[in-house]
Chains A and B, each alone.
Chain A
Amino acid sequence: MASRELKDHFREQRIFFQRAIWAALGVIALSLALFARYYYLQISQHEVYKTLSDRNRMQLQSITPTRGLIYDRNGVLLADNQPTFSLTLVKERIKDLDATIGELQDLLEITEDDVESFRKRMGQRRRPYESVTLKSRLTEEEIARIAVNRHRLAGVEVEAELIRYYPLSDTLAHVLGYVGRISERELKQVDPANYSGTQYYGKLGVERHYESLLHGSVGYQTVETDARGRVLRVLDRVAPTPGADISLYLDVNLQRAAIEALDGRRGAVVAIEPSTGGILALVSTPSFDPNLFVTGIDSATYKALQDSPDIPLFNRALRGQYPPGSTIKPFLGLAGLDTEIINVNSRVWDPGWYQLKNDDRKYRDWKRSGHGWVDLNASIEQSCDVFFYDMAFRMGVDNMYAYMAKFGFGEQLVYDIDEAQDGILPSREWKRAARRLPWFPGDSLNMGIGQGFMLSTPMQLATATAVLANRGKWVRPRLIKTINESEVTDIESPPDVTLKQEWYWNYVIKAMEGVMHGRHGTARSSGKDASYKMAGKTGTAQVIGIKQNAVYDAEAIAERHRDHALFVGFAPVDNPKIAVAVLVENGGGGSGAAAPVARKMFDAHLVGPELEPGQMQAASP
């Protein structure tokens, strides 16, 4: 080591000594700066800070911003703020918290639920002198009782508060979601200062997704208080910025029409405006009253909702994953044409079943006797399975996967809903990963009629139908229309679906028109006597069994083994204004149960009040 030999220990030590002296001087200089700083604060400015500290009565209070309102496309108010009075406690001014709560319990009806959640919120981070709600929505009488006893209830206040109110109750619960008491976990996710006075937080749906927009930003005021803590005067005030008002593409009338058409059955309807991607209706039945959740739902009511066999809390439109059945035939037909596996002259003999070479198994058509010779047009119109078995076999899973993916299957694409599910679009890789098995030709056959592994949500079906109605032009489904009255634009969509021949679109759409208006169309009874042309496709999905843990009577069990009814469609054919997907759980066939719902939606949207003036007028607020 040459360097070692050349080391000059004496020089090194001298340098170190120099540096150590510089370091000592630096320490002394900076310490003197600290001495000076504390001298300044504690001696020179002592009086100023003494006054500030003595009067701990100078308090900084946060002012909660008002939550933004939510409207539908026609300006109907969907989410409002209602002034209510709440009973609040300030810990700092209460000598014995338990005694005070006990006293209040003698005066008013305060449940154990109330006390428990109060204690929970008390444990959360809070500012000194910040009040915590014990009971919301006081009645006039309760307010009076508190007022009479006020002299002996130090630290107890009745505070006015704006509470979220959903005037349309269960009509929109699954779209709007609701706000509820902010939880400790949610508090950690937000800017704690901005939420310092806020008690509510969007839990689901629009309220959740647009939480930051609807919330606004906090304001504050410096107030002077007396020894008891009552505010004497406001010294300084910075106003809060209220949350933004938003309006949605939703049409309350259409939403109501869908609920009415479902007529108490379990199901889902999604309607999309193809030109914008705006969601016109998003229905999942049965529903629930979101107002129950705002100030805290009591455990019995919640248990009843959760244990109901109809699972009203479950959002079928976004989270229900069902085999799409024959509703995917138009999309597969386009794939067949575009890959040139088939052409418009291709015909298949349908004896009522289909068989693969070297395979004994018979793949049945829904029509036992078969459809005879069929081409693509007839196979869509009459929903022939054998044609699609044959095509799916020859096309293979890779092609089917590629084309279905282009229409958004297997992916959550809604712009502004967080809880929607992905569905399953099977592929070779998917099956290997999920089932540890290779892809069999029989799997392709099942996929060809929308059965087997494939699962999709009503939202996905509606989205794909809107893209089809647009002849391939993608619009990403979304709820938001305007924020503070300015249009929301620039929403990125997936790439458009392009086909080798533009006329393939019209061919398939023509076949779907046949479903509604053709002589053999599966939904012809729903299409008749319309003043406009519509396109559709029915579907029936075998029930694989949804999770159920309650005991049912025999009739109910039988009912729940019935097939799900499905329908997708749009209207008018030439200039689509609405695309819908309908699902009726255990509804039986798509033509009988689902297509009529869609027809009512089309009528409500396209013909509207003229059809049933009295009824629709009554329905609008």
Chain B
Amino acid sequence: MTLQDQLVQFLVSGITVGSIYALIALGFVVIHNVTGIVNFAQGEFAVYGAFMAITVSQKVNLLSGNVRFNLAWPLPLAALLGVAAAVVVGLLLYRLGIQPARKASALSMIIITIGAAFVLRGVALLIWSTDPYRLPAFTQGPPLKILGAVLTRQSVWVIGVTVVLLAALYLFFNYTLIGKALRACAANPGAARLMGINATRMALIAFGLSAATSAIAGIVITPATFMTYDRGLILSLKGFVAATMGGVSSLPGAVIGGLLLGIVEAFAAGLLSSGYKDAVAFVVLFIVLAMRAGGLLKGRAAAAEQAGL
């Protein structure tokens, strides 16, 4: 491979991984916009979505081998169930963890979602144990070649799903009544309530929607990389960094942030050191935050931050 081929390869794999970060970041943005909460348990939705899909589509040992499943559901159905399971987890998280404490301070809220992430991670460990799981590729066949770089078919799926989801979210937020109500809640919760919008219901919808997008992210990457019970945290972190790069409250911003993060990471891993790949996200975070806090305080997200979020 020539250097040029390699660079194209980094770009291609960066975009693939970045799409996943983008999807998780979208989940962050949806919850943050509607409720003002940054959900540290975001990555767990991806884990639960993927694990449920795996459980119903192939042979799996559960509860340290005490329960065996061999359902062999077709992939689309399994994926649907995975998403549904994550949505249930999201709704339960809101009802049991967030809603009872809605008057709590930002600090308490952070601690609650961290606690929730730990509970979800522990439960996943209990059910699925430490085994790595994998889904089969969505479509079989040789990888594609683009400008000398290799693009697996699953990468095409990942990128495609991201594009479709982004478009769907855009349409949902701009052209449906519920979507507009969600945006109203984000813009001015007090006024939205006066207009008869039920804030609790909107928060529930936000958690469900956000869980669904993250679960889809979890399901589409599982054929490319193994899924383990503890992937949630690192996914949450990358998603948050991506969301922050995009300004925390913008959906297109989250996608651009995710792609940028994926590409920077791929180049850093390829050109500098693969061992420090996961550190790249945080170096980027520090740089972005240093710049934002220093000079970009005009933005809407910065205003929210000033308000004590």
Q: Is the pairing of A and B real?
A: no
Residues of chain A touching chain B, judged by Cβ–Cβ distance below 8 Å, are none
